[in-house]
Amino acid sequence: MKRGIRVREQTSRRKFLSSAAMAGAAMIAAPNVVKAQGPVNMRWQSTWPSKDIFHEFALDFAKKVNDMTGGDLKIEVLPAGAVVPAFGLLDAVSQGTLDGGHGVLVYHYGKQTALALWGSGPGFAMDANMLLAWHKYGGGKELLAKLYESIGANVVSFPYGPMPTQPLGWFKKPVAKAEDIQGLKFRTVGISIDVFTALGAAVNALPAGEIVAALDRGLLDAAEFNNASSDRVLGFPDVSKICMLQGYHQNAEQFEILFNKTKYDGLPDQMKAIIANAVEAASQDMAWKAIDRYSKDYAEMQTVDKVKFYKTPEAILKRQLEVYDEVVKKKAGENPLFKEILESQIAFAERATRWEQDTVVGRRLVFDHYFGKDGVAKEL
């Protein structure tokens, strides 16, 4: 009897050990199955010329993902026009012509006007980083998915990379009042098209690589793009020596990383987690790099390129806000999703900006103390 029990115990133990060994082998082999299939390769395109710092930001993101996955996911990023025109990115990614891309949501304005609320406007006193906070924690992420679904776009979107306030634009002479914009052939994008049209400009939405040539040929009288580094390398100082700083037309913009949804959904969960974390890492790295590079190019455009920078008069800024209000009221009345997003942003902004205005000390006093006319920085 005891011998029979011992035999059964030994048989059960052998089965257990065999099963455990097989399970262990499966666990060890599972990653190797992925390795054996080779890396996942993705072909992307940005909406930027290869010389623009924005394309560099796109390459930075791809490198982070490629490095963090150990090469299991390899993203190649081509510049604007390599496969499709800059404004054709959304369709190309959605249809699978491209696996992904790097751009801005406002470039899809023609597909769904509410997409421009991610950055094209004053942000209700939020800067771009605060708008990204709304996106992640205030309902924006869910609303964006709803928006893309409404237009049948087969994409997964990751807004990232908070941009600083953009200049009003490059002009032949400084603008002192809103009336000075009337009649100008002007380049802008998104809701800013409606704002500048209401200000009396004849607006033309051109991609980055076409703006300077249009200014040079007289097809445009004035234009805005984005920042000191982009504007300089694209050649704005070659066709204009007047830049008006600060505006509310694009006060809180950020970039967008797009994946074809079918391609993205087929990735392992671990790879999706790496992508999500790479987005946030690249977002902060981009902000740091922008501070370094934009400030250098801003200084050199004054000393080397002899560009004169002027602060946009308050009267123009106030008029921008008034016109923006008229534009969004009209669009909210026409588009229920536009209205839903608008209300969500306003509710978040009222709380977040009140906290910011009450708690964050102004830095102008500190700047003047150290770097103003009688600044003490040199004495320290």
Q: Comparing 40-165+252-293 with 169-251+305-357, is the CATH topology the same?
A: yes
Residue with token string 């890396």? 39
pLDDT at 27 over 90: no
Q: What CATH number labels 169-251+305-357?
A: 3.40.190.10
Mean pLDDT of 103-118: 95
Residue range 298-308, pLDDT digits in tens: 999 999 999 99
Is pTM beyond 0.85? Reply is yes
Question: Which helix (DSSP H) or strand (DSSP E) does residue 242 occupy?
Answer: strand 242-245
Q: What CATH number labels 40-165+252-293?
A: 3.40.190.170
Residue range 67-78, pLDDT digits in tens: 999 999 999 999
SS3 284: helix
For the ranges 35-39, 47-51, 89-93, 365-369, the lowest mean pLDDT is seen at 35-39
Residue range 192-232, pLDDT digits in tens: 999 999 999 999 999 999 999 999 999 999 999 999 999 99
Q: Was 187 annotated as part of a binding site? A: yes
Residue range 224-257, pLDDT digits in tens: 999 999 999 999 999 999 999 999 999 999 999 9
Mean pLDDT of 100-117: 96
Decide if 282 contacts 64 (C-beta within 8 A).
yes
Q: What value does the mean pLDDT of the chain take?
A: 92
Strands 100-103 and 40-46: parallel
pLDDT at 260 over 90: yes
Measured on CA atoms in the order 355, 360, 361, 367, is the torsion positive or negative? Answer: negative
Q: Was 225 annotated as part of a binding site? A: yes
User: Residues near 302 by Cβ (< 8 Å), separated by ≥ 6?
Assistant: 308, 309
What are the residue boundaries of the structural domains of the chain, listed by start? 40-165+252-293, 169-251+305-357
Task: Report how far residue 380's alpha carbon sits from residue 370's, in angstroms, rounded to the nearest whole number.
Answer: 9
Q: Was 250 annotated as part of a binding site? A: yes
Q: Was 166 annotated as part of a binding site? A: yes
